[in-house]
Amino acid sequence: MSRMKDRKRSSGLVGKVPLPAVPGVASKGRMRSLGQVIVEVLLVLPWFLMIVFTILEMGNIAFHMILINHATWETARYGAMIASPKGGSKFGGCPSANQAMMDIFIKRILPGARVAGAFSEPTTPDNQASPITGCDLVLTSEYPIPLIFPISNFALSKPPGTGKRIVLIPLRMPIEQPLFK
């Protein structure tokens, strides 16, 4: 046993062993800084999460906007191909748009979308583009984008409180006429 005491004395460990910290006794400064960190985190964390969720929600909205823009373009292309002349005449005015057929078509591409309006409108004819009638199909599609994060949902939903952002996409597409020979 005397060898152990000698060894401890020779290594210099006697009297220099750190005592465990007792809360509120020797580490008052450490306890104050821990409380300050908790308060700072509680003040900053909600704002940080709101910014992160809003950025993610904007990415979600951009993704759905790409989907509805593509679906609208495909539907307008389809509508321009199936547009029929008014009154059965092949040269009488602008062809009529079949909104019911286009609505079925857009729902096959994007189930939540719908055709809000479709009509044909005369434009300046182009002599170099012979299959073009001089009429455009004006198509407006509507799509409710589902919002997924609750914090940004509150600020970005339209109408407010629905959890969705309804977007209207207008598009013009030239109506083609068949080649008659």
User: What are the tens digits of pLDDT across the range 135-168?
Assistant: 889 999 999 999 998 877 888 888 888 889 999 9
Average pLDDT, the chain: 80
pLDDT computed for residue 83 by the predictor: 79
Q: Is 3 exposed, middle or buried (0-12, 13-18, 19+ CB in 10 A)?
A: exposed
Q: Which pLDDT value is given to residue 154?
A: 81
Q: Write down the residue that tokens 């939903």 correspond to.
A: 157
Supply the pLDDT for residue 80. Answer: 87
Question: Which residue in 163, 167, 159 sits closest to 151, CA to CA?
Answer: 163
Give domain limits for the chain. Answer: 28-176
Q: Which of 26-35, 62-71, 105-114 has the lowest mean pLDDT?
A: 26-35
Mean pLDDT in residue range 93-104: 86
